Amino acid sequence: MKNIGERIAELRREAGMTQEALGEVIGVSAQTVSKWENGNTAPDISLLPVLAEVFGVSIDSLFSMEGEAEAPVGRDGWEKIPETLYDGFFRAYFKIWNAGGGSKKPEDVRQYFSDHPEAQSGFSSDERGIIYFNDEIGLVWLSGPEDTARLLRDEAVTELFADLCDPVFLEVLRFFAEVNPSTFTRFTAASFTKRAGLDPEQTERALALCEKHSLMIPEKIDSGEEEPLTIWTVAHAPKIRFVLGPMLAMAKRFAEFRNHWWCLRG
C-alpha cells in the first residue's frame, strides 16, 4: 500500500501537475509538496479534504483505501417527501377552507397553479400567522404584521440584504449552491480562488463576507511554511439550500408579484 506522500505524487502526475503547480493551488511551496512526496513530512489532516478536492478523489483514495462500492440505498421514498408533504398540506388547507361552505377541489387548484404560475392562494389570521401557496411553495408563518415591521428594522437582516448586493458574494453563494457540499468542505484561499474562478482580491472579500454570515470558519494550521496556512471550512452548507433557496424564491415572487389569487382571505 502506498503511503500518503507516494499517493500525492501519483495523483499529481496523473493530473499533469508539477510540484509548483500543486503548491500554488493549495497555497504552499513546491518544497513543502516535495517533502510530502519524499515522506519527510506529511500534510496536516486539515489539508486532506483540500487535496482530495483538487485531485477529484475521495479522502480514502488518498490512502489507497477505496474498496468496492456499496450497493446504493433506495431513495425513492425520501425523494418524494417534499411533493407528498406539499400535497398533504395543500389538501388539508382546502379541506378546512371548504368546511366554511366552499367547494374548492385541491387537484383543480393545483392544475390552475400549473397553468397560471403567477397565481397564488393565501390566508391571514386575525390573531397570528399566515398561509401562502403557489405552484412551488407551501408556507406557514406563525407571526403577525408587527413581526414584518420588526424584521425590517433588524440589523442582521438589513446587513444581509446589503451584502447580497455585492456581486462577488452573490457569485460565491451561486458557487456553493451548485457545488456538492459533501465533496467541497475544506479549502485554502488559493484552492478556492482556482475552483471558484475568482481573483485573490475577490476571494479575500468573499471569504470575509462568508465568515461574517457564519458560512465559513477559518483555522490556521502549520503546513511547514514560515507562516501558518489558513484552512476554511464550510460551516453551514444547509443554510444555503434550506434557508437561502426558499427566501430567494419568495423574493422573486415579491419582485414579480401579480395580484392573481385563487382563494384569498385576509
Ordered by start, the domain boundaries in the chain are: 4-62, 77-144+255-265, 155-248
Mean pLDDT of the chain: 87
Question: Is there a contact between 53 and 182 (Cβ–Cβ < 8 Å)?
Answer: no
Q: What is the pLDDT of residue 65?
A: 54
**Lowest-confidence pick of 128-142, 180-194, 211-225, 239-253:** 180-194
Mean pLDDT, residues 177-203 taken together: 88
Indicate the SS3 state at residue 37: helix
- Helix (H) and strand (E) counts in the chain: 15, 7
Q: What is the pLDDT of residue 184?
A: 80
Top-tier CATH class for 155-248: mainly alpha
Half-sphere exposure of 222 (CA within 13 A, CB side): 3
Radius of gyration of the chain from its Cα atoms, rounded to whole angstroms:
25
Residue 62 has pLDDT above 90, yes or no: no
Mean pLDDT, residues 197-205 taken together: 94
For the domain made up of 4-62, give the CATH fold.
434 Repressor (Amino-terminal Domain) (1.10.260)
Digit-coded pLDDT (tens) for 24-45: 999 999 999 999 999 899 898 8
Q: What is the pLDDT of residue 71?
A: 40
- Record the cell numbers describing residue 213, joined without a space: 454570515
**Lowest-confidence pick of 81-95, 162-176, 186-200, 203-217:** 81-95
pTM of full prediction above 0.85 = no
Residue 206 has pLDDT above 60, yes or no: yes
Indicate the SS3 state at residue 123: strand
Task: Kindly give, in sequence order, each residue whose CB lies less than 8 Å from that of residue 34, ignoring residues fewer than 6 positions away.
Answer: 19
Instruction: Assign 72 a pLDDT band (cuts: 50, 70, 90).
Output: very low
